[in-house]
Amino acid sequence: MQSRQYFIAVLATTFLALFHTQSTHAVSITYDTDIENHINFNKVPYREGNREGQSWVKEEENVRVLQRGGTPGLRRLLQEQFPDWTFLIAPPKEGNQSLKGEFRVKQYYACGNLTNCGSPSTFPVLGGVGALFDVDFISGESDPQFPDRLNWIQRVVSNHSEEPRPYGAHNLKEDRIDIQDRTDSPYYFPTRNNPNFFFPTFYDRPYRPDAENSHYWNAELFLVRELGNQTVMIYDGISWGWRNQTKRRREDYCPVKSISSDDNCSYYYFSDNLSSGYEEDTFQLKELTPGKKFYAYIDNDIPGNRCNPNTLHR
């Protein structure tokens, strides 16, 4: 679908449309801006319990074309996880080191815990954080085309592992080839034994249910062509990803400062010298109503605290 954002030059009744494009390579990245609100680089604020956060996709200037043949990290993973396969770097054609077509991004936006993540393309999900990414490869002159057995290979690096299923594990870092159906091939989409498989569209919705935690999720996505006998030609790629960050909501606690009070909070400040061995200090709050909620904070980052002792409150 042609973008609304274009400029037109007229020369001898010939019209030239310049699309919203970001690339210095022969292959380009374009954004289909005709789909309202489906490409959004803005941060999405949200709240989850006593925490507030923001979720966002990788900035437009950081969505870029990746080197032909795969990054060193992707090639390392392919060799480790698929030792019986052969992965080749696509040779240049007519002196051109890159594809001549375009990666046309149709949907790309971040999801907060109240975002209908996936609507209207697929069944939406709620309650977590993540992003949606939808891109087409539009073949150019001399580029591989149907029925050239095209597919996608994606590398994912994140701080919330997909395993164990179904929700994975937070702060368990992963660096893996993204295989949707756990087949013995490296492709994102299964081939289903179709000799003429062709996937010009790539669609992904990485999602994590624990919106209260901070995440990063980065992907390297490459267009590939199967040559047969477990041999794959790797063309150009595109980088994309998302992240979110959270912190405790300010209205849920009082900042630590000298003794004072107002309509919402009472503040109490205690200090003592800390030794490098074992020490237990007791502080009493006679003004605290039994059963009333309170928060306690410990600041170890004070000047001269070279031993950095471990401190606890109970």
Stretch 228-239: mean pLDDT: 94
Name the burial class of residue 112, with classes exposed (0-12), middle (13-18) and buried (19+) by CB atoms within 10 angstroms of its CB. buried
Tens of pLDDT along 82-133? Answer: 999 999 999 876 666 789 999 999 999 999 999 999 987 788 999 999 999 9
Please count the other Cβ atoms lying within 10 Å of the Cβ belonging to residue 2. Answer: 10
C-alpha span between 235 and 70 (Å, rounded): 8
Q: Kindly state the DSSP code that residue 296 receives in the 8-state scheme.
A: -
DSSP per-residue letters across 138-161? E--TTS--TTS-EEEEEEEEEEEE
Stretch 44-53: mean pLDDT: 94
Element spanning 79, H or E: helix 72-81
Q: Looking at the whole model, is its pTM more than 0.85?
A: no
Question: Which residues 6+ apart lie within 8 Å of 277 measured at CB?
Answer: none
Higher per-residue confidence, 7 vs 136: 136
Q: Kindly state the DSSP code that residue 81 receives in the 8-state scheme.
A: H
C-alpha span between 34 and 108 (Å, rounded): 13
Higher per-residue confidence, 270 vs 190: 190
